[in-house]
Structure formats: structure tokens, C-alpha cells
Amino acid sequence: MRFLHTADWHLGKKLHGFDLQAEQQAAYEQILKLALDEQVDAVVIAGDLYDRAIPNETAVKQLNSMLMDMNLTHQLPLLAISGNHDSAARLRTGSAWFKATNFYLNTKLSQAFTPIVMGDTQFYLLPYFEPFEARQYFEDDDLRTVQQAMVKIVAAMQATFDPDKKHVLVAHFFAAGSEHVDSETQVTVGGLNAIPVDLLAPFDYVALGHLHGKDALQAERVRYSGSPVKFSVSEATQTKGVWIVDTDPFKLTFKPLTPIRDVRVLTGSFEELTTPAFYQQQAQDDYLAVQLTDRRVIPNVMQALRAVYPHIIELERVNGPVLTNNPATKIDPNLDPMTLLAKFFEQTTDDDLTDQQQQWAQTALTAAMKEEG
Amino acid sequence: MRFLHTADWHLGKKLHGFDLQAEQQAAYEQILKLALDEQVDAVVIAGDLYDRAIPNETAVKQLNSMLMDMNLTHQLPLLAISGNHDSAARLRTGSAWFKATNFYLNTKLSQAFTPIVMGDTQFYLLPYFEPFEARQYFEDDDLRTVQQAMVKIVAAMQATFDPDKKHVLVAHFFAAGSEHVDSETQVTVGGLNAIPVDLLAPFDYVALGHLHGKDALQAERVRYSGSPVKFSVSEATQTKGVWIVDTDPFKLTFKPLTPIRDVRVLTGSFEELTTPAFYQQQAQDDYLAVQLTDRRVIPNVMQALRAVYPHIIELERVNGPVLTNNPATKIDPNLDPMTLLAKFFEQTTDDDLTDQQQQWAQTALTAAMKEEG
């Protein structure tokens, strides 16, 4: 059995206001090509297909089209679960019909105990669940955490193990040892809900979703695939991709994906970053977290930088806050209003007020003073 | 060919704040039973399955469960379209898989020209559409109205008619001669978007959705099924149900549905309506639009009526507004505040202030005057 392991597609997600639809589509096309080139027997999607419970219509169309493309057009068997970002009730629409074409989409805890048998493997598709669902399912009020629930869940799955088969768990939770980044919201930090990797030892492989970096967990047979696209600056240095998993003999191969626009941190002084000799060497179109080394006031800094780098997603002063109180920029507040305004204008724009501007300013100031008086 | 024609389920709809889920479920159970008892070859649902583009999770679960029940459990072929209340993009989720079990759900204009052949009949499933979609589909910028578009649509459908078959159109629009009621929002009144019944003559039967009364249109072979449940007071006198349609020989039979709670208008004086001898003869639990014949002030009138009739959805004074300015109720506004309050209290409650209440009122008035002063 050979399958592709991906997760955390988060369709509908925006990156600091930028739509990622094209980026996610490009990643999908590569995933599909990999699945076909590698002749996998199935594609595993370990939760968070959507970014939110009520995705926008564009995201709905996009996911529907991807699933139809893989499963109906290319006859790829699909093994998927809902994640914490999905609405289980909404995502499950149509799933009763999907099985006929080997598309298994589990969104309820109760579905997790009937393994899907494909080739030499029993797949257990465990959707994201809350402890109360485990309490209901097992009729056990003592199950207060996901970890407690997982002890029972793994035992119940083991009871259905066919010893002649391999056993793969597909799940969406926070496994112990994982490393957090910014775009994984709603993860309980502190270990309360962390699943110890040891608990997952009965499985030949655990295909996880939830954390966005493939290296979040280094256990040999318990793996996050990570998201196919970078969703935050904290993921800037991660390599995105999917796992190709062979069950017999066991083999794990990471296949990287190439983004249209990378998410990167770009550090330098304003002058450096806006010098053609520098920026012409850059992929200017990338999503950039700009770290400015300057501390001086730079007029219209974001606008000026965006003229060169259109997809800036963050701007930070890495050497401390802008210096507005140094002698060069200090303005005596006791000056008369017109002089005060002229100095402020000069300081922020590096230009003097024109005669016309002076006239406007004077009119406005007179009006304001009349109102006050 | 025999099929059941229903429409306008509006799952997720509320009636003046009251959840209709149970009512809609009861109607569905009767529809299913009718379909099975009458041994229909298909169930037609002519749009507005949901009440809104983004239905709540309860409505999503309810529709999914109904569709699974009919199509997967009872193997009933389904022929459905999206209505103006549905989000076509959301409703179509899974529909590519549904066809395998004879569940045809059309949500795009372009799908309407491929007839579904069942038994002796070609079914044309035309979802609700906007004129711009027709302009795009026909590449004809002159199509400004649904009526103009329908001329082209009917012609395109006719071009695919098999002369040996019957031809049934399933659609969701406002056909000329229809009669409006309150719960059909977004209907363009005035005829701009009305489809003349003559235009639909090529079809052996037109199964319509959109208007909620089965008698909205009296054409013999162009029919609204109406909604299975009453959704507004203006539908109070309608008989709700479904059509059983035989194609050969053509026969139309209306099958009424029985609500859990009816929507009714209840007229009478307050005294009459709250007299046990009267209300014990009533289905007190119905959804009631109460028309009070009194004009006098009745203290806590809604609360008093709801104690007898818990599901009041409207309260109207049918003999004109409450008389507050007749000599008996007029209060001289120049009285001192405490006397004014006491008189007002007496008038609205028919009780005098108790000593304790007088004390409270005096304390509050003193505090208020202190604040003002």
C-alpha cells in the first residue's frame, strides 16, 4: 500500500488580507500530480480542509472541485477527516454517497472504529473531536481530556485489528513534542490536550493534521504532513510538502511543493531595501515580513516599500521603536500653531509647505481658532 | 410515470421566533410515507430546500438526513433544484456523487438542458437563476429579464424533446397569475420577472416552486405544490400538501399534510378569548395571529394571552388603536409626579399602589429629582 499524506488545506484562509486561493490551487495541482506520478493507492487528508466552519462560497466551490477532480475524474481513493477548523456537520454533506467511489470522509467519532480496508492496510479515520463527544460515545463521564479519551479510542481500535494487515491512524490533534506556530489557532498549549506519542505505538503509521510544519514531530511513524501552503510568518522557514508513505516495507518520503509566492522575512535598512541593485535580486512578489533596521522617521514608509514589494504582510522595526524624540526631530510645542504645523510638515515629508499649502493651513487654523474662541 | 411534487421546504426557517424544525420534520415524514404508499417513481423538490444561503447546522443536518433517508435508505429517485433562498454553490456539495443513486440535484442553468430520463418522461431540472446567468449561458446581452430568458430556455429544451416521451419541467420562479403572500421574499411583483403560463405550454407538466400556496396558479398543468408547512399568517387559510402526478394518462391528485400546530387567525374580545369555556374548545397550542376586538387598555395583554395560547405570533387590534385618550383614561400631566404615577399605575393595572409600592416609588422619585436638581 502506498498513499499520500497531506492535511491542513485551510481553504478560504487569507494571509494578512491577501487571498490564498491561487496559492492553494497551485499546491493542490502539485499534490494531484504527485499522487498520479507516484501511483499512490489513496490520498489521505488529515483534517482542516476548510479554514472555518462557514467557509465562503469560493472556498466551497474550490474544495468541491478538488474532491471531484481527485475522486471522480482521477478515481483516486480518498481518506479524509474533519479538523477543528471544519464544521463537522457541514463538511459531512454528501459523505454517505461518497463511499461508493472510495471516498471516505469521517466527521463523527463513532465512525472511527470501523476500519477502511485498502490493500494491505486497515485505515482508522478519527476526526477531530471534543472530550464531551468521547464521554457520550463511551458513556464514561470520567473522560475529561482528549488524552484520556485516546487511551480508550486506541484500545477500541486495537480490538478490531486484523493481525494480517497494517494499521494506519488518520487523526487531527496535538501530539506531544509538537512545536507551535502562529497560524494554528485553538490549540491548547500546556499539554492538557496533548497526546503522548507512545500511546500511538500500536499503529504502523499515524497520519496527523493540526500543526503546520512537517517537522513539528520527529517520531519516525507519527507524522504531521504540515500544510501545503505557508499560512503565517512563523512558517517562513518551513519546507511545505506531502509525505508519500509505503506500508510494506515501511518507507516515508517527503515531497516538497513549490509556492507561487513564498512567505519570507526580509531584513535591511529602508535605503538598502529600496535600492534597485538590491531589490532586483529579490522575488519582490513574495509575501514579505519586512524587518527594518532603521530607527529614523521614514515618511509613508509602507507605501514606499509596497511600491517595490507589493505583498508585504508585516512591517517591524527590529532595532527598537522609531526615534521621534531625538534632537533632530524634537519640535517645541510652544511655537505658534502655524510655525508648529510647518515644522511638523517639513519633518515628516522632508518638504517645505508650498505657498498654496501655507494659505490652506492658515485658513484652516483661523477657522479652528474662531470655533474655539 | 408517477411522481410526487413538493417544493419550498425552507429548512431553518423560523416563524416569528418559533423554530419550525419539528413541524418540518413531521411534514417530511408524511411526504415520505405518501411517496412510499403511492409507490411513486420519483420525488420532485422544486427549490428552496433551505430558507437561507447559509443555513444553520441544525438545518444542514436535517436536510442531509432527509435526503439520505429518501434516496439511500428508501431508494427513492430524487429530482431537485436550487431555489432563490438556497446558495447554489453550497447546495451543490456532493451532487456529482448523488447521480449514482438517481438523485439529480441541479444548481446551474447549464445543467437544465440535459433531460433526466425516468420511465416515460424527460425531466428538465431548471434551478432558480438570475438574468445575468442566462446572458452568459446564451452569450446574449439582450436577455434582461427571466421572461426573455425563458423563451430561449424553453426553445433549447424543446430541441432535445424525445417525441415518444412526456416532458416535465421542474422550475422555481414566479409564473403569471400567481398570488403573493408574505413569506415569499424577493419575488419581483409587477410582472417584470413573471413567466406567462402560455410559454410553458410545450410541457406536459410544470412542477413549480417559489409561491407557497398550491392554488397560487390554477393552470391545469402548471402547478405550484406550495410549501409543506405554513410559513406566515397570510398562509393561514391555505391547505398544505403535495401533488401526486401521473403522466400517462395525466392525472393530478393533491394529498394534504397535517401540521403538528396549525397557523390560524383567532378573533375575539380579550374576555372571550380568555374564558375557559371558549379556549378549551380551541387548539390552544396552534400558532395564532390574535385579532382583539377590544379597544380598551388591557394590562400585560400579551402575557395574559400567552398564558392561554403559548404560540401567539401576532397580536392586532382589529377595531382600531387602543383608546388611551378617552376621558376615563386621560391623566392630567400637570399633576405632581407621585400622583401622576399612582394614577398611571391604577389605570394600566386596575390596582392601587400598595403602601410598599408607594414607598418604593417615592424613594425613586426623590432620587431622580435630586439628580435632576
Q: Are residues B36 and B123 in the same domain?
A: yes
| pLDDT at A286 > cutoff 80 | yes
Regarding whether B242 and B286 lie in a shared domain, the answer is no
Q: Is the pLDDT of residue A232 over 90?
A: yes
- Average of per-residue pLDDT across A147-166: 96
| Short-list A50, A78, A79, CA closest to A63 | A50
A65/A180 same-domain check:
yes
Whole-number mean pLDDT of chain A? 91
Q: How confident is the model at residue A296 (pLDDT cuts 50, 70, 90)?
A: confident
- Assess whether the previous peptide bond of A115 is cis (omega < 30° from 0): no
**Residue B23 exposed, middle or buried by CB count within 10 Å (0-12, 13-18, 19+):** buried
Distance CA B59, CA A67 (A): 24
Chain A residue with CA closest to B73: the answer is: A96
Chain A positions in Cβ-Cβ contact with residue B60 (cut-off 8 Å) = 89-90, 93
Q: Which residues contact A9 (CB under 8 A, 6 or more apart)?
A: A24, A27, A28, A45, A48, A49, A50, A63, A227, A228
Average pLDDT, integer, range A211-232: 94
User: Which residues of B fall within a CB distance of 8 Å from A89?
Assistant: 57, 60-61
User: H or E segment at A81?
Assistant: strand A78-81
Q: What is the CATH number of the domain that holds A126?
A: 3.60.21.10
Across all residues in chain B, what is the average pLDDT?
A: 91
Q: Is A160 left (phi over 0), alpha (psi -120 to 50) or beta?
A: alpha
**How many CB atoms are located within 10 Å of the residue A363 CB?**
10
Q: Find residues 95-114 of chain B whose CB sits inside 8 Å of chain A.
A: 95-98, 100-101, 103
Establish if A326 belongs to a structural domain: no
Chain A residues 212-231 within an 8 A CB cutoff of chain B: none
Question: What ipTM, to 2 d.p.?
Answer: 0.81
CA–CA separation, B12 and B29 (whole Å): 17
Specify the pLDDT at position B339.
86
Residue B326 in this model has a pLDDT that exceeds 70? no
**Same domain? A250 vs A341:** no
Structural domains in chain A (count): 3
Given a cut of 50, whether residue A185 has pLDDT beyond it is no
Quick check: B325 pLDDT over 70? no
Residue A322 resides in a domain = no
pLDDT at B350: 67
* Residues B114-152: tens digit of each pLDDT: 999 999 999 999 999 999 999 999 999 999 999 999 999
A94 close to B (CB below 8 A): yes
pLDDT of res. A344: 80
Q: Which residue of A has its CA nearest to B69?
A: A96
Is A325 within a domain? no
Instruction: Name the pairing type of β-strands B166-172 and B121-125.
Output: parallel
- A110 with A244, same domain? yes
Q: How far apart are CA B114 and CA B238, in angstroms?
A: 35
Let me know if residue B349 belongs to a domain.
yes
Task: Say what the pLDDT of residue B188 is.
Answer: 45
Does residue B360 share a domain with residue B240?
A: no
Residue scoring higher pLDDT (B143 or B183): B143
CB count within 10 Å of CB B156 equals 14
Predicted confidence band at B328 (pLDDT cuts at 50, 70, 90)?
A: low
- Residue A65 near chain B (CB below 8 Å): no
Taking alpha carbons only, the member of B312, B272, B311 closest to residue B290 is B312
Helix, strand, or coil here: B225?
Answer: coil
Q: For B89-181, where are the E strands, in sequence order?
A: 103-106, 116-118, 121-125, 166-172
Is A90 part of the contact surface with chain B (CB cutoff 8 Å)? yes
> Does residue B332 lie within any of the structural domains?
no
Percentage of chain A beyond pLDDT 70 is 92
Which pLDDT value is given to residue A60?
98
Q: What is the pLDDT of residue A321?
A: 74
Closest residue by Cα to residue B234 from B300, B186, B289: B289
Chain Cα centroid distance, residue A166 = 31
Secondary structure (DSSP) of A277-316: HHHTTS-TTSEEEEEE---S--TTHHHHHHHH-TTEEEEE
How many whole angstroms separate alpha carbon A281 and alpha carbon B218? 74
- Tell me what percent of the residues of chain B surpass a pLDDT of 70: 92
- Using a pLDDT cut of 90, give the percent of chain A over it: 75
Looking at the fold, whether B220 and B311 belong to one and the same domain comes out as: no
| pLDDT confidence bin for B191, thresholds 50/70/90 | very low
Same domain? For A238 and A112 the reply is: yes
The answer to the question of residue B324 being in a domain is: no
Of the pLDDT bands very low, low, confident and very high (cuts 50, 70, 90), residue B242 is very high
Whether the pLDDT of residue A189 is over 70: the answer is no
The stretch B34-43 carries a mean pLDDT of 98
Mark whether B351 and B304 lie in a shared domain. no
From CA B268, how far away is CA B281, in angstroms rounded? 14
Residue-wise pLDDT for B248-286, tens only, equals: 999 999 999 999 999 999 999 999 999 999 999 999 999
Q: Nearest chain A Cα to B103, which residue?
A: A97
Which of A60, A87, A103 comes nearest B57 by C-beta?
A: A87
A101 is a domain residue: yes
Q: Please, are residues B67 and B78 in contact by the beta-carbon 8 Å criterion?
A: yes
**Residues A159, A74 share a domain:** yes
**Nearest chain A residue (CA) to B95:** A94
What is the C-alpha separation between A339 and B308, in angstroms, rounded? 77
**Closest of A80, A48, A99 to residue A170, by C-alpha:** A80
Q: Are residues A37 and A150 in the same domain?
A: yes
| A12 pLDDT more than 50 | yes
The rounded distance, in Å, linking the Cα atoms of A24 and A113 is 32
Q: Is A370 on the interface with B (CB under 8 A)?
A: no
Peptide bond into A249 cis (omega under 30): yes
Grid cell 467511489 — which residue? Answer: A101
Same structural domain for residues A234 and A342?
no
Q: B98 CA to chain A: closest CA distance, Å?
A: 6
Residue B136 domain-assigned (yes or no): yes
Sequence-separated contacts (24+) of A279-282 with Cβ below 8 Å? A279/A308, A279/A309, A282/A309
> Range of B95's domain?
2-256
Q: What is the mean pLDDT of residues B284-295?
A: 95
Q: Does the beta carbon of B56 lie under 8 angstroms from any beta carbon of chain A?
A: no
Residues of B in contact with A94 (CB under 8 A): 64, 93-95, 97-98
Residues on chain B touching A61 (C-beta within 8 angstroms): 89
The last residue of one of the domains, among B256, B284, B304, is: B256
